[in-house]
Each structure stands twice: as structure tokens, then as C-alpha cells.
């Protein structure tokens, strides 16, 4: 798409495990139309900790801004060009462009990812919370496996809490495109994306933001399977293959090994162009399931389905 435990004594643990229900309930009463300055003032008045303030910005955006699908498919302006005489003038003009994106996002309550990310950044800055807008790559379906993009296609945010960076994507938290239409469907997973799963979905363009997580080449990122929200929200571990391209063996079968699957869970495969799910052969050993199936000869895309939800997408060769 164009351009997310408690405090106990002095110990702080993960943001994503904290109970933010009181914050969310408070923010739900906020005006639907508001400026960045007034939103920041309201948040600063209602909350004292940076964690709660960040959550408030995230929830307001995810619940009140609609993804602008028309702008995604038919952008009015792909590039913004301007002249400048010195670095100070350059930075001033860049700030003016970003501020205009924020004003438009809040006035229309519509945006592509750039609007979500710049608005999140603007309000956090007004709240004196260190943050950055990250530009990079995301993949949306099995069609994207193995196809390295020439240009970045997404923007999201990093915020510093207790001297550690947390990664937040209000765009993907707000909803998703289903059958060609954007549908609001709040997804809390994208508030403080787990670092161990970060590269399953997001890949920063800037090498500094890559290395703050781990080393991974862009080709490795694009060659991965597609990990859906149904996978990401669970503790599943894909042991093998790590590639998103499944190769048939001598018996024309494909195999994957998945950890943390229970024997009473329903496991199926779906294949592009075929209406019905198919039952694979599943064997369990040492908390891992080896899943084997012979795909239809003409199918090039496979979908692993657990308990009725697609969890992984692959290409087949």
C-alpha cells in the first residue's frame, strides 16, 4: 500500500501485552474531526505516560481515518518537486508538505499510508515523543513472492519508549482490502509489531532501520511466504521451507513443517483456481506437524488453512 504486561514496581515489559482498554475507551469519545494540535492537547490532558499517549494517537487514527483506496489506484500527484536555496529552506518546505498531508488527512478523515504515518508522527512530535516515519516495502499476496519492487510502497512509524524503538503501523491496524474494497477491521497486532516477526511483513528501505532488527537482504525478504494476520497472532513457527516458493518432490508433493500446531486443529490446503479445500497428510513429531499434499497439476499458488483461516501463502514450481 502507498505511502503497529503491566508496570510492576520499576519493571517495564512489552507494550503489546499491556491492557489499554481504558485508553481506548477514552479515545472513542474524542471528536471525529479535530486538528493535530487539538488532538495532542486532548491526549496530553487525559494521559500522563508516553505509552498511553502513543496508544491514544494510534487508536484515534485506526478508528477514525479511512483508507483512501481511490487515491491508491489513481494518485493525483505521484511526486512533489520544489526549489530551494539552502538546507534550511529545503527542510522548511519538506515540513510544509508533511503538514499539508496531515491537515488533509484530518480534514477528510481519508488517507493512504503516508497520511496515517505523517499524522501519527506529527501528533507524537507535538507530545514531545521521539519518533520517525519509516519508508519501505510490504507484500500483500502470493503474487508478490520473489518480485523485488523498484520503489518503496508503504510508510509506517517508529517511536522510542524507555529508550527502545517500537514499531507501529496504523494503516494496517485500521483495516484491509478485501475483494477490491477496503474494510475497516481493527487489528491490534500492528501496535508494537513483535521484532521477531517484523520482517515477515515490513522491510525498511533505510539500512539503519533494518539493522536495528537484524540483517536481512531485500531478496530474502521478498522470497519469503506471505504471513497472514491469522499466522502472526499465533505462536506458529514455520520450520521449513523458509522460502515462499514450494518445490514439488519426486512424488509431485509439497511439504511444510510447522511448529506449535495441536493435533486437534483442522489443517487444509487451498489452491488458486480450485473451489474446494483439500485434506493433506499430517504427521506430528516433537511439537511439529509435517504437512504433505500433492497439489493440482495446474495450480501455481497454495494456501495453508488452519481452523478455517488462511495462515500462509506460497507459490508452487
Q: Report pLDDT for 178.
A: 84
Q: Report pLDDT for 71.
A: 84
Q: What are phi and psi of 229, to 5 degrees?
A: -60, -30
What is the pTM assigned to this prediction?
Answer: 0.89
Please, which pLDDT band fits residue 10 given cuts at 50, 70 and 90?
A: very low
Q: What is the CATH number of domain 232-316?
A: 2.60.40.10
Question: Looking at residue 263, what DSSP letter applies?
Answer: T
Q: Which residues have a Cβ under 8 Å from the Cβ of 59 and sit 6 or more positions away?
A: 20, 23, 24, 27, 28
The answer to whether the CB of 262 falls within 8 A of the CB of 241 is no
pLDDT digits (tens, 9 = 90+) for 83-102: 777 887 788 887 888 999 99
In the CATH hierarchy, which top-level class contains the domain 15-224? alpha beta
Q: How far apart are CA 211 and CA 49, in angstroms?
A: 28
Q: Of 302, 289, 305, 303, which Cα lies nearest the Cα of 238?
A: 289
Q: Please state the domain extents for the chain.
A: 15-224, 232-316
Return mean pLDDT, the chain: 91
Please, which pLDDT band fits residue 17 given cuts at 50, 70 and 90?
A: low
Place of cell 484515534: 60
Report helix, strand or coil for 36.
helix
C-alpha cell at 206: 533505510
CA distances from 114 to 117, 181, 217, 227 (A): 5, 19, 24, 23
**Which residue did the predictor score with more confidence, 273 or 1?**
273
Q: Report pLDDT for 78.
A: 60
pLDDT digits (tens, 9 = 90+) for 25-44: 999 999 999 999 999 999 99
Q: Report pLDDT for 6.
A: 23
Amino acid at each position: 500500500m502507498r505511502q503497529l504486561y503491566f508496570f510492576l514496581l520499576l519493571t517495564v515489559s512489552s507494550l503489546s501485552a499491556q491492557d489499554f482498554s481504558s485508553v481506548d475507551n477514552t479515545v472513542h469519545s474524542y471528536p471525529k474531526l479535530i486538528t493535530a494540535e487539538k488532538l495532542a492537547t486532548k491526549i496530553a490532558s487525559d494521559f500522563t505516560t508516553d505509552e498511553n499517549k502513543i496508544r491514544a494517537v494510534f487508536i484515534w487514527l485506526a478508528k477514525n481515518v479511512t483508507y483512501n483506496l481511490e487515491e491508491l489506484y489513481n494518485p493525483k500527484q505521484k511526486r512533489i518537486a520544489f526549489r530551494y536555496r539552502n538546507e534550511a529552506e529545503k527542510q522548511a518546505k519538506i515540513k510544509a508538505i508533511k503538514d499539508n498531508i496531515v491537515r488533509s488527512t484530518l480534514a477528510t478523515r481519508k488517507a493512504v499510508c503516508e497520511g496515517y504515518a505523517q499524522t501519527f508522527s506529527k501528533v507524537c512530535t507535538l507530545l514531545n515523543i521521539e519518533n520517525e516515519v519509516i519508508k519501505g516495502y510490504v507484500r500483500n499476496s502470493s503474487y508478490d513472492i520473489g518480485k523485488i519492487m523498484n520503489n518503496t510502497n508503504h510508510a509506517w512509524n517508529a517511536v522510542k519508549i524507555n529508550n527502545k524503538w517500537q514499531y507501529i503501523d496504523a494503516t494496517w491496524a485500521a483495516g484491509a482490502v478485501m475483494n477490491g474494497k477496503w474494510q475497516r477491521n481493527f487489528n491490534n497486532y500492528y501496535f508494537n509489531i513483535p521484532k521477531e516477526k517484523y520482517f515477515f511483513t515490513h522491510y525498511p528501505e533505510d539500512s539503519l532501520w533494518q539493522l536495528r532488527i537484524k540483517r536481512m537482504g531485500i531478496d530474502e525478504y521478498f522470497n519469503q511466504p506471505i504471513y497472514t494476520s491469522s499466522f502472526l497472532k499465533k505462536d506458529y513457527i514455520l520450520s521449513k521451507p523458509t522460502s515462499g516458493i514450494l518445490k514439488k518432490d519426486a512424488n509431485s508433493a509439497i511439504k511444510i513443517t510447522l511448529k506449535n500446531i495441536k493435533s486437534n486443529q483442522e489443517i487444509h490446503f487451498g489452491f488458486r483456481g480450485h473451489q474446494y479445500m483439500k485434506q493433506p497428510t499430517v504427521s506430528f513429531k516433537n511439537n511439529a506437524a509435517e504437512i504433505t499434499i500433492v497439489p493440482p497439476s495446474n495450480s501455481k499458488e497454495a494456501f495453508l488453512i488452519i481452523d478455517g483461516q488462511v495462515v500462509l501463502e506460497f507459490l508452487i514450481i
